[in-house]
Amino acid sequence: MKTKAQTKISSPSVQPYISAGTILPEMTVKGVLLGIFLAIVLAGSNAYLGLKMGQTISASIPAAVISMTVLRMFRRSNILENNIVQTIASAGEVAAAGVVFTIPALVVMGYWHEFHYWQITLIAVVGSVLGILFTVPLRRALVVDGDLKFPEGVATAEVLKAGDGKDSAGVKDLIFGASAAALIKFSQSGLQILGENVKAWYSVGGAIFGFSNGLSLAMLGAGYIVGLKVAINLLVGAIIAWVIAVPLYSMMGTPQDYGLTADASAFDFAMAIRSQKIRFIGVGVLTVGGLWALISLIQPIRSAVLSSFDALRKARLGHAVQITRTEKDIPMTLVLLLVGAAMIPVFMIFNYVMEAAHLPITSGLYWASLSFLTVFALFVGFICASIGGYMAGIVGSSCNPISGITIAAILVVSLSLLMILKTEIDFKSNPDIVTTVAAMVIIIGSIVAVIAAFSCDNLQDLKAGHLLGSTPWKQQITLIIGGIAGALVVAPILQLLYEAYGVGGVFPREGMDLTQALTAPQATLMASVALGIFAQTLDWPLVILGVGIGVITILIDQFILKRSNSDFRLSVLTVTLGVYLPMDVVLPLIIGGIISFFAHRKITTKKAGLGSKYPAAVAKAERRGLLTASGLIAGDALIGILLAIPFAAYQSTSVLALVGPAFAETATVLGTLAFAGVGYYLYKLGAGAKVKLVS
């Protein structure tokens, strides 16, 4: 019987798959060891993908599939144990993603000539632990109390549920989605008999117009899960970037202005404008959107922290505090203690860099700068963790713009450091100091990138755990284990890839194949931004333009849509994704959201003829669509990870190709038909066409 002195903390928002009162083994020895092994393997795969294409793939779903396959060999295993395995494994991939987007910039700018093990490992470990600790208060604010979809977290949970065998009716839909996506992805990236995108760009009166649609079934599935409102926000951002900005900039310049030849194609011209103009506008929008999202999160984060401390206070006073198993996080006092302890290695990293730089500054300014960098790195890290986690809730982890978040952090840190140091340093007359200080900023950015990357992925995992009925503190502990495992191997992986391919136009030796070099696009961009700020060559008007777009978006939402009680609202962060992300990533997300809307509208129009069967019919149709969409994400991601192995081993992404460049147009047609076919099937499922409405 509960007395007045008792307090019960639980989540009313969702009924988990495994009830809070059911106790199952989660952190088992075999599960932890399997998770660590997968964390190391997936860290290597994603390090290659990040350096080659500037894009990593969320490993949660592939890890879940592998875990279910392996643990079925044991007599005793359960869904929560499988969830712990995928949690550890995905954390290893994230450690690699955060590092490969930033640290190679030190080699690109000539500050390093090889990848230093202990510095990189310390950065990755500290960033991993902080990213996980920061998600403790964010879990309640975003996962439990928020209304964000977290599409990859939902998909991971659905995969694990299907594998548990209790939802045999949904297994076929999940398997179909995964099989179709796996086959098509392998035919696209591996065999290359299906195209991966369809594009059409033209020059009309000196202005560039066109579209590029990625034929990614993972993005299609994610778009279906997040729905129409997110799709419209993404469309608004895409229109700003591609329908307005690109044509205007193409009319105001020539291909030669962007480093291209005079006869460059319209597509190449558009991509160059995006790289050199639109991305920086996107960073400005993202900065405003991130700050606005953080303001909106202050109250729920505050409530989560106060709730934890209130429970501790009542426990010390002897009151019985009942916290359900599914709501037990790492205690907030321990979180704060560990965050404080993390300041020590952060301080050591910055002190090492500043000592090696031999900056011509007084000791007072030295220690002031060092203290500022340490505290500011943690402060900015938490802000970026909040922003990244919020974005992951909107579109998932795989297409989350971690690089944009990191660039925004680099801008803020660089400006602050510039104001501090310029009192004693003339950067214009000291180009060597420019490189050194820019390297300091990159190191700060690398810590922030790892923190933000972990926040994105961890909250997806915690969302899956929330739906399944896992114990949050156990997931958080195993996330730390997986993060450390990935951090320990990412430096030698980077060095191995550097020795094999070269990175960002820099090669360890002469005579290497330039065509096989890993371009490291994100790290190269980081280097140019950091150097541009201190050399005072950065195009600030672009960033300011983005800030203006962000402010206007917020004003329209708050003073027009909100006051008119509109069902549709503009989310500045979602609009930001439409501006910043490549069009071939945004369009399939939009298409998925539109399919979801029309499928739901179709099934609801059948209400009159269904009578009392209507609610069950709609629920069944929606679940079949959700399971198939989850399968699309799972199959695409799994093949993407597996293909990284032969690609890295043979130093070529064409090692499995059955056709040559002459087949490209045919492949595009076939790939488009396959994409359209799966999209139509997804619509029919969601619309209830394949649902048996009458028993």
> Residue 693: its pLDDT value, please?
36
Q: Kindly report the average pLDDT of the chain as a whole number.
A: 80
> Residue 242: its pLDDT value, please?
92
In this predicted model, what pLDDT tens digit does every residue of 134-143 receive, in sequence order? 888 888 778 8
Residue 172 structure tokens: 């076929």
Angle at which helices 572-580 and 540-556 pack, to 10 degrees?
A: 140
> Residue 624: its pLDDT value, please?
81
The larger pLDDT score, comparing residue 362 to residue 509, is at 362
DSSP 168-186: HHHHHHHHHHHHHHHHHHI
Q: Look at residue 462 and tell me whether its pLDDT is greater than 80.
A: yes
> Residue 53: its pLDDT value, please?
54
Instruction: Count the alpha carbons within 13 Å of 173 in the hemisphere toward its beta carbon.
Output: 27
- Reported as a pLDDT band with limits 50, 70 and 90, residue 4 is very low
CB 108, CB 506: distance < 8 Å = yes
For the segment 399-419, the average pLDDT, to the nearest whole number, is 77
Q: How far is the C-alpha of 134 from the C-alpha of 390, rounded, in Å?
A: 13
> Residue 11: its pLDDT value, please?
41
Strand partners, 503: 506, 518
- Enclosing H/E stretch for 465: helix 431-468
> Residue 1: its pLDDT value, please?
38
For the segment 221-247, the average pLDDT, to the nearest whole number, is 88
Residue 644 structure tokens: 């990284």
For the segment 388-409, the average pLDDT, to the nearest whole number, is 73
In this predicted model, what pLDDT tens digit does every residue of 269-326 receive, in sequence order? 998 998 888 888 887 887 787 778 777 767 766 766 666 666 656 656 655 556 788 8
> Residue 607: its pLDDT value, please?
57
For the segment 605-627, the average pLDDT, to the nearest whole number, is 67
In this predicted model, what pLDDT tens digit does every residue of 502-550 receive, in sequence order? 777 778 777 666 655 666 767 777 787 788 877 777 778 888 998 999 8
Q: Look at residue 602 and tell me whether its pLDDT is greater than 60.
A: yes
> Residue 50: its pLDDT value, please?
67
Residue 470 structure tokens: 């896992």
What's the chain's Rg over C-alpha atoms?
A: 25
Q: Look at residue 668 and tell me whether its pLDDT is greater than 80.
A: yes
- Short-list 232, 161, 231, CA closest to 631: 161
For the segment 562-577, the average pLDDT, to the nearest whole number, is 82
Residue holding tokens 């995964």?
A: 178
For the segment 404-427, the average pLDDT, to the nearest whole number, is 81
CB 225, CB 156: distance < 8 Å = no
> Residue 12: its pLDDT value, please?
43
Assign 283 to helix, strand or coil.
helix
- Reported as a pLDDT band with limits 50, 70 and 90, residue 551 is very high
> Residue 606: its pLDDT value, please?
61
Give residues with Cβ within 8 angstroms of 139, minimum separation 6.
304, 329, 459, 462, 466, 472
In this predicted model, what pLDDT tens digit does every residue of 153-182 receive, in sequence order? 887 888 788 777 655 556 678 788 888 999
Q: How far is the C-alpha of 41 from the C-alpha of 329, rounded, in Å?
A: 28
Q: How far is the C-alpha of 462 from the C-alpha of 138, rounded, in Å?
A: 10
Q: How far is the C-alpha of 299 from the C-alpha of 276, rounded, in Å?
A: 37
Q: How far is the C-alpha of 513 from the C-alpha of 162, rounded, in Å?
A: 46
In this predicted model, what pLDDT tens digit does every residue of 430-447 receive, in sequence order? 777 888 888 888 888 888
- Short-list 128, 495, 132, 490, CA closest to 345: 128
Give first-to-last CA distance, the chain, whole Å.
44
For the segment 659-684, the average pLDDT, to the nearest whole number, is 92
Phi, psi of 201 (to 5 degrees): -130, 140
Q: How far is the C-alpha of 684 from the C-alpha of 222, rounded, in Å?
A: 17
- Reported as a pLDDT band with limits 50, 70 and 90, residue 357 is confident
> Residue 505: its pLDDT value, please?
74
Phi, psi of 209 (to 5 degrees): -130, 155
| Domain boundaries of the chain, sorted by first residue | 26-167+330-540
> Residue 663: its pLDDT value, please?
92
Q: For 161-175, 473-487, 644-658, which range has the lowest pLDDT when averaged over its residues? A: 161-175
Give residues with Cβ within 8 angstroms of 529, minimum separation 6.
407, 410, 411, 414, 538
Percent of the chain with pLDDT over 90: 11
- Short-list 605, 599, 593, CA closest to 623: 599
> Residue 21: its pLDDT value, please?
81
> Residue 52: its pLDDT value, please?
62
> Residue 142: its pLDDT value, please?
81
Residue 199 structure tokens: 């594009």
Assign 201 to helix, strand or coil.
strand
> Residue 307: its pLDDT value, please?
64
The larger pLDDT score, comparing residue 5 to residue 649, is at 649
Q: Look at residue 677 and tell me whether its pLDDT is greater than 90.
A: yes
Q: For 220-224, 340-344, 618-622, which range has the lowest pLDDT when averaged over its residues? A: 618-622
DSSP 30-51: HHHHHHHHHHHHHHHHHHHHHH
> Residue 385: its pLDDT value, please?
84
In this predicted model, what pLDDT tens digit does every residue of 255-274 receive, in sequence order? 888 888 888 889 999 989 98
Phi, psi of 323 (to 5 degrees): -115, 120
The larger pLDDT score, comparing residue 642 to residue 341, is at 341
- Enclosing H/E stretch for 212: strand 207-214
> Residue 667: its pLDDT value, please?
93
- Reported as a pLDDT band with limits 50, 70 and 90, residue 108 is confident
Give residues with Cβ within 8 angstroms of 443, minimum separation 6.
106, 123, 349, 350, 353
* Amino acid residing at 539: D
- Short-list 123, 104, 114, 97, CA closest to 44: 97
For the segment 617-646, the average pLDDT, to the nearest whole number, is 76
In this predicted model, what pLDDT tens digit does every residue of 194-223 receive, in sequence order? 998 898 999 888 889 998 888 988 889 888
Angle at 113 between CA 111 and CA 119, to 5 degrees: 75
For the segment 362-366, the average pLDDT, to the nearest whole number, is 88
For the segment 328-342, the average pLDDT, to the nearest whole number, is 87
